[in-house]
Structure 1
Amino acid sequence: MLALGTFAVGTDAFVVAGVLPSIAASLHIGIAAAAQSVTVFCLAYAVLAPVLATLTGAWPRRRALLTGLLVLAAGNAATALAPSYGALLATRLPAAVGAALFTPAAAAAATTLTAPQHRARALSYVLVGLVSATALGVPAGTLLGGMISWRTTMWLSALLAALAAAALALWLPHVPQPPRIGLRTRLAPLGDRRVTALLATTVAISIGNYLFHTYIAVILSPVTGGDTTSLAVLLLVGGLAATAGVLVTAAWADRFGPRRVIAAVTGALAVCLVLAPAAISLGPAVAAVLMAACGFAAWSTTVPQQHRLIAAAPHSAPLAVALNAAAVYASAAMAGGTGGLVLDGFGPTALPWAAAGCVLLGLATSELAHRMTARPSRSQ
């Protein structure tokens, strides 16, 4: 049920990428400007998540979870009704508030409801909802937006959040109240250079990932020709591969170690991104293979990174995972703005190359974090 909530959050955060051309045409703005709605949402989430988790720390967990989902639903409904570009950006703020309140509370609830030896897996399952949203929520929203309008897509996002709230209200078991944690304590893992290096890895890889996926409708336009059904099919292929990648690489991380898995999938992702412009030019079948490969690799660092963070900060694992989620959303915000500059300055074919550069930087940072983890941290 918590994963259903993060599925609603993930759909809301990422579905806009599939309907950017529709938003731009409807509001008479450029695609890069429309993409800044993603930037506003993700930046607000990254800033507000630790603050709201602190301010609502004394709330019963059920109240925090339900409030987050209901505010998210209301924000999406307001986005669906936005009459102008300024109103569109403004309505992304309440949606971000709801998401920022729900996701850390869901992670904390997952760790509270499970035994210590199962907490890492429980966190992974909850946050997999964000990834699985790319498999079903984003393609469905893209198809619906093409058939009717992008506003219908936002109504779908609002409905998902409302359904998740109803499920939690009916079936969520009692969640013990966790100890209240101040903002300074919540940010304390940042004082460990190993955690900081791992979060830097998350940021670099995620910027590359979101540079590609935020502007995916534009990047794939040579093969889709602007047809939303073709785009939705390609997004579904990528999303299903992403979900499979998360599950498969979670097992690989246990067998081979998370650092080796991250090195392998980030290297593969960089290669896929470099080849993307050529692959897209070869037609739909090759583009589908590209989306499957990119989808599998792009999200496969999710669980291994969580395991590395938990190993680096075992006594503050939920806080480290929450910071990692905030880092992902901050990266998405930076990718939206950076991608807009790349798109305006160099065109859509430059976006995969820029993304590949960020992913390779993330690979280098990951290896640096491994060296730090191999030695005792000075802050310990």
Structure 2
Amino acid sequence: MRPRLLLLALGTFAVGTDSMVMAGILDGIAADLDVPVPAAGQLVSVFALAYALLAPVLATATARWDRRRLLLTAMGLFTAANALSALAPDYGTLLATRVLAAAGAALYTPTASAVATGLVPPERRGRALATVLGGMTVATALGVPLGAYLGRADWRWTMWLVVALGVAAFAGLALLMRGLPAPAAGAPGLRDRLAPLRDRRVVAGFATTLVFFLALNSVYIYLATALRPATGGDQGRLSLVLLVTGVASVAGSWLGGRLVDRLGVRTVLLAGSALTGLVLAALPWLSRSLPGALVYAAACPLTGWAVSVALPHRMASIDPPNAPLLISLNSSALYLGVASAGGVGSGAMALLGDRWFPAVSAGLALVAWAISAATATTGPARAGRTVARKGARAGARV
């Protein structure tokens, strides 16, 4: 099972690199295509919004597709769109290709997450999700720095890096991703597929993900500003902080998967969101020195990415037969949070100043905690583990 999970993670690594590296090459894009930097920045927002809007629609439209075919179609579309981005002659064309890339990503990531939960027994689903989502976190530690480095010479080389990753993922999926569980016969239609949207638990899960990622990214987007007292504007110090952030993100995803399987979704959500809020609240003091900034860079991604594993697990457990749709809704909420974070962060800085604006993010993390406390259940992980243990004891008696 593990090689197939790693293949799925390679695809999310490509998606994560593509979605996060754009911020590092905006200056090069603006200069090459002769547009203002703020206009180039819209490429990030358009990708995030397109992903958020398309994920549930595409999950519903492709509900009856064979899972392998769906993964290959998604990765093929994503890879082709990035090749078109690399060849884009003008800003308008590049903007259109980012929408196509978002469509491929919106189709791939929820499908890969849902497939991962079907490849393992219930008591290991948290770790399976952590492996697939780990591709996104590894992208922050490896893919984004490499892409940004290539982009220093020409931003188009960064796009070709994403294309190469997509081709590798597509080839691996085509060769090894066989024998996946087929969609249930007589899969429900569009109206039935959208029925979960009337479930309060689904709405609560969507709201938790949206608010939590809004909290994280309202600071992350402006991290250079928040940490300027510690870095003194030195790019080398900021790069060190970002490296620690990337490594901690990988560790948080790994830890979150194991904690979800051992302790249950609710415990991870409550503890993780509370700790994240405390770290964000402490940032105005931690940012006074480089050691303090490194503490923040290690602690916030560690707790934040642990929560990020629990969130889709919670959504999928509400209605397992509709897991692809529910996970796509979780992904939509995540990207809506990312798309909204720039405006919320800048508004917080205008209101509170460069030092104190993380207080808004701390408050949002508290809101996410409150929603989880009011709506999240222990989740099926613990129940699944109990059933497995009972089955083992029964087998032993026989």
Q: TM-score, normalised by structure 1?
A: 0.84
Displacement, 1:93?
0.3
Match of 1:241 in 2: 248
1:210 aligns with 2:217: yes
In the alignment, residue 269 of structure 1 is paired with which amino acid?
T
* Equivalence map 1:15-164=2 (5 Å): 15-20=21-26, 22-23=28-29, 32-115=38-121, 118-146=124-152, 148-164=153-169
Report if the CA contact (8 A) 2:116-2:125 is conserved. Answer: yes
The yes-or-no answer on 1:193 pairing with 2:171 is: no
**More deviation, 191-200/101-110:** 101-110
| 1:335 alignment partner in structure 2 | 341
Q: Is the 8 A contact 2:123 2:261 kept in 1?
A: no
Deviations 1:273-312 (A, max 9, x none): 23334433423x4322221112112211022223433444
CA distance in 2, matches of 1:312, 1:105: 17
How many residues are matched? 371
**How far does residue 219 in structure 1 lie from its aligned partner after superposition?**
4.3
Q: Counterparts in 2 of 1:171-190, with a 5 A limit? A: 171-179=176-184, 180-190=187-197
Superposition deviation, residue 326 in structure 1: 2.0
Letter in 2 for 1:106: A
**Cα separation, 1, equivalents of 2:294 and 2:27:** 21
Hey, what's the Cα distance between the residues in 2 that align with 1:265 and 1:123?
A: 17
Select between 203-212 and 133-142 the one with higher mean Cα deviation.
133-142
Q: Tell me, what secondary structure is at the counterpart of 1:302?
A: helix
Contact 2:127–2:257 under 8 Å retained in 1: no
* Alignment of 1:322 onto 2:328: yes
Q: Is residue 23–residue 150 contact of structure 1 (8 Å, CA) maintained in 2?
A: yes
Shift of the alpha carbon at 1:52?
A: 1.8
* Change over 3 Å in CA distance of 1:341–1:252 after alignment to 2: same
Once the two structures are TM-superposed, the CA of residue 203 in structure 1 deviates from its matched residue by 0.9
Partner residue, 2:270 = 263
Contact 1:17/1:216, CA 8 A, preserved across alignment: no
Alpha-carbon distance change, 64 to 231 in structure 1, aligned in 2, over 3 angstroms: farther
2:171 matched to which residue of 1?
166
Q: 1:185 to 1:116 in 2, by over 3 A?
A: farther
Asked whether the 8 Å contact 2:215–2:364 carries over to 1, the reply is: yes
- Per-residue CA distance 1:181-226 (angstroms, 9 max, x = gap): 4333333222221222122111100111122223435545565566
Tell me by how many angstroms 1:45 deviates: 1.0
- The answer as to whether partners of 2:127 and 2:261 remain within 8 angstroms in 1 is no
User: Of the two, which has the highest radius of gyration?
Assistant: 2
Q: Kindly report the root-mean-square deviation, in angstroms, between the aligned alpha carbons of the 2 structures.
A: 3.1
Q: What CA distance in whole angstroms lies between the structure 2 residues aligned with 1:253 and 1:116?
A: 11
Unaligned runs of 5+ residues in structure 1 are 374-380
Paired amino acid for 2:207: A
CA contact (8 A) 2:111 2:324 kept: no
Look up the equivalent residue of 1:51 and give its one-letter code. Answer: V
Return the alpha-carbon distance in structure 1 between the equivalents of residues 230 and 41 of structure 2. Answer: 21
Whole-angstrom CA distance in 2 between matches of 1:351 and 1:32: 21
Residue 328 of structure 2 aligns with an amino acid whose one-letter code is A
Alpha-carbon shift at residue 345 of structure 1 (Å): 7.3
Query: What's 2:386 paired with?
Result: none
Farther-moved stretch of structure 1 (129-138 vs 350-359): 350-359
Partner AA of 1:107 in structure 2: S
Taking the aligned partners of 2:293 and 2:116, their CA distance within structure 1 comes to: 38
Deviations 1:315-352 (A, max 9, x none): 54443223212211222122244345556777654653
Relative to structure 2, which stretch is displaced further, 343-352 or 65-74? 343-352
Q: Secondary structure of the equivalent of 1:300?
A: helix
Map of 1:378 onto structure 2: none
Offset at residue 360 of structure 1 (A): 1.9
**Identity between Structure 1 and Structure 2 (%):** 46
Q: What CA distance in whole angstroms lies between the structure 2 residues aligned with 1:258 and 1:42? A: 26
SS across alignment from 1:17? helix
Partners of 1:211 and 1:339 within 8 A in 2: yes
CA distance in 1, matches of 2:354, 2:32: 21
Note if contact 1:143-1:232 (Cα within 8 Å) is conserved in structure 2.
no
The answer (yes or no) to whether the contact 1:107–1:322 under 8 Å persists in 2 is no
Tell me: CA distance 1:340–1:163, structure 2 relative to 1, closer, same or farther (3 Å): farther
Matched letter for residue 352 of structure 1: P
Partner Cα separation in structure 2 for residue 340 and residue 27 of structure 1: 26
Distance 1:86 1:352, change over 3 A: farther
Matched to 1:200, the amino acid is: A
> CA 1:182–1:264 in structure 2 vs 1: closer, same or farther (change >3 Å)?
same
- The superposition leaves residues 22-63 of structure 1 with CA deviations (integer Å, 9 ceiling, x where unpaired) of 555655666554433222111111111122223333443333
> Partners of 2:88 and 2:343 in 1: how far apart?
22
For the structure 1 residues 87 and 289, does the alpha-carbon distance in structure 2 shift closer, same or farther, using more than 3 Å as the test? farther
Separation in 1 of the partners of 2:276 and 2:70? 37
2:260 aligned to which of 253, 271, 276:
253
Residue 294 of structure 1, aligned match among 293, 300, 320: 300
Q: Within 1, Cα distance between the matches of 2:261 and 2:378?
A: 21
| Residue pair 2:128, 2:257 contacting (<8 A) in 1 also | no
